[in-house]
Amino acid sequence: MKILVVSQIYWPEPFPTTDMCEGLRQLGHEVHVITDVPNYPMGCIYPEYKGGKRRREERNGVKITRTFTVGRRNSTLFRILNYYSFAISSTVHSWFLKKDYDVVLAMQASPIMMVNAALSYARRAKKKCLFYTMDLWPASLSAGGISEGSPIYKLFGWVSKRLYRRADRILITSTMFRQYLKDNFQIADSVIGYLPQYATAQFEQMPPSSQKDTVDLMFAGNVGAAQSLVTVLDAAEILKDVTNLRFHIVGDGSELENLKKLAAEKELSSVVFHGRKPPEQMPQYYAMADAMLVTLTADPFVGLTLPNKVQSYMAAGKPILAAANGEIPKVLAEAHCGFCAEAENGKGLADAVQQFLDTPDKSRLGKNARAYYESHFTRQQFMKTLEQELDALRK
């Protein structure tokens, strides 16, 4: 197949769509990605891409075209400019593409407008378009403090409905997305399929852990408002007297400096900030962890998601301690691989940590996590299903 992919976030930005596209290339398909000028997660254009540099590249056989993008920086105005600059520039670019692609794949994260170029090309070339939906819109806006009753939320509700209803097929990453799409946009159940994310291969073979005197709990990933890492600091404060306990935060994002400041104010010596690390170094950090942390805000729509870090944690065979509602506690309960408190509940997370500390056979939780990953979240299963879905649409 010759596949046109539209994904606002792509290599060298840290995001799973890169491995998905390269996986399709490894299966023998021709893949062309239309993407942005790299600026995620910190919002500043990467230096090596400034001034119009590297707009056409090829990586591991995947052809990459980068269209005009305004960096999102750290303000609402620039975030809106970021969203629309890519949506408009990628759509204009799609007008001039040859009509020889077999199928179109839209990697739909945030914002929903990133799929516009995919739909525009599909309509012009009379091809089918598949959405791979990692974030729900406009539900994702509520995590940023935009209320459901606001004019902005209602506007993007209308935009989202128009775009979702134009998709020929929607693959969802969380089972709870299905009802939202049906209730809010009247998407037919037959249009929706379930395809959870997977962990990249680097997490499937962990380096050996070294001997140590501490119990190390680790959060890895984007450090933003939706992750509610204040909950981790609250739990760390409650557990201050557990002298050998350490909380590690590996990653970067809009809330990192605020969290560092709060940890200093609370004198939380047990909390260690490592900053953002290259993907190839992450297995070393996972290896030092006795358990992994995942937290989300209490927003009901955020709870519908299953963040990709859960699959990575499971692939690494690590117990998981969480403070989240919705899909995450459901998956952890099915896997029997950890303990979960309610979202934004620092006391509940502290109790979950204590429960983990009191568990005699901690390794069993990690083995359960790995077993669940192998049954539900492997890359091989994912790529096989995605290939079948795309092939069905081109016929």
3-state DSSP of 48-89 = HHHHHCCCEEEECCEEEEECCCCCCCCCHHHHHHHHHHHHHH
Beta-carbon count within 10 A of 207 CB: 10
The sign one gets for the Cα dihedral 308, 14, 41, 88 is negative
**108-154 per-position pLDDT tens digit:** 998 899 999 999 999 999 999 999 999 999 988 877 678 888 888 89
CA-to-CA dists, residue 323 to 297, 332, 351, angstroms? 9, 11, 11
Phi, then psi, of 274 in degrees rounded to 5: -100, -15
What is the average pLDDT across 195-208? 79
- Could you tell me if 322 and 227 are in contact, meaning their C-beta atoms sit under 8 angstroms apart? no
Residue 114 is predicted with a pLDDT of 94
**233-244 per-position pLDDT tens digit:** 999 999 999 999
**38-82 per-position pLDDT tens digit:** 998 778 899 999 999 999 999 999 999 999 999 888 777 888 899
What is the average pLDDT across 20-36? 97
CA-to-CA dists, residue 54 to 21, 37, 40, 58, 59, angstroms? 19, 9, 16, 10, 12
d(CA 297, CA 96): 42
When computed from its CA atoms, the radius of gyration of the chain, rounded to whole angstroms, is: 21
Residues of the chain above pLDDT 70, percent: 99
d(CA 80, CA 55): 22
Res 2 pLDDT > 90: yes
Q: How many residues does the chain have?
A: 395
d(CA 327, CA 333): 10
Q: pTM score, two decimals?
A: 0.84
Q: Strand pairing of 62-66 and 56-59?
A: antiparallel
Residue 347 is predicted with a pLDDT of 98
Both tokens of 137, joined, read 């819109």
Res 209 pLDDT > 80: no
Residues of the chain above pLDDT 90, percent: 80
Residue at token pair 């398909």: 29
| Cα dihedral 49→134→330→190 (10° resolution) | -160
**261-316 per-position pLDDT tens digit:** 999 999 999 999 999 888 888 888 999 999 999 999 998 888 888 998 999 999 99
- Model confidence at 381, pLDDT cuts 50, 70, 90, reads very high
d(CA 106, CA 4): 8
Strand partners, 171: 132, 193
Residue 90 is predicted with a pLDDT of 97
The alpha-helical segments, DSSP class H, found in the chain are 17-26, 76-94, 116-125, 151-164, 177-185, 230-238, 256-265, 282-288, 308-315, 327-335, 346-357, 362-376, 379-394
Fold of 201-376: Rossmann fold (3.40.50)
- Classify burial at 95, counting beta carbons within 10 Å of its beta carbon; exposed 0-12, middle 13-18, buried 19 or more: exposed
Looking at domain 2-198+378-394, does it have CATH number 3.40.50.2000? yes
Say how many CA atoms lie within 13 Å of 283 toward its Cβ. 14
**Closest Cα to residue 2, out of 30, 32, 34?**
30
d(CA 292, CA 332): 12
Both tokens of 35, joined, read 């993407």
CB-based contacts of 345: which residues, under 8 Å, 6+ apart?
A: 231, 323
Domains 2-198+378-394 and 201-376 share a fold: yes
Residue 300 is predicted with a pLDDT of 84
Residue 210 is predicted with a pLDDT of 73
Both tokens of 156, joined, read 């993007």
**Closest Cα to residue 189, out of 199, 178, 198, 180?**
178
Ranges of each domain in the chain: 2-198+378-394, 201-376
Strand partners, 245: 215
Phi, then psi, of 323 in degrees rounded to 5: -135, 95
